[in-house]
């Protein structure tokens, strides 16, 4: 959809939102944003216990080093997914799959 050009200034966050709304690969971009804010969102302790965090078919797959942490992250997976989705402003993560 074509946008008209306005002479009035726009807030950067509004300009970025407009760009993301029109960008054809916005879901891919938001997946990358989620991966980049993983540690910031879950905290250093959980991030240190996870590795190979990636997307598979709309699910965020998290590999853990320790089975005890697998259970901990599994119990928190819905709240973690909500936080990450809220930060990118769209439901990108359908589910978090925890593997050891």
pLDDT for 5: 61
Q: What's the whole-model pTM score?
A: 0.77
pLDDT for 6: 63
Q: Which residues of the chain have pLDDT under 50?
A: none
End-to-end CA, the chain: 44
Q: What is the CA radius of gyration of the chain?
A: 16
Q: What percent of the chain has pLDDT over 70?
A: 91
27 touches 64 (CB < 8 A): no
pLDDT for 3: 57
């Amino acid at each position: 959809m074509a946008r008209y050009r306005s002479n009035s200034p726009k807030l950067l966050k509004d300009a970025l939102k407009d760009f993301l709304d029109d960008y054809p690969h916005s879901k891919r971009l938001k997946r990358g944003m989620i991966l980049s804010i993983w540690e910031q969102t879950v905290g250093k302790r959980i991030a240190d216990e996870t590795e190979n965090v990636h997307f598979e078919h709309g699910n965020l797959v998290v590999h853990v080093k320790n089975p005890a942490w697998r259970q901990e992250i599994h119990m928190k997976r819905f709240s973690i997914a909500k936080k990450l989705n809220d930060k990118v402003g769209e439901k990108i993560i359908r589910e978090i799959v925890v593997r050891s």
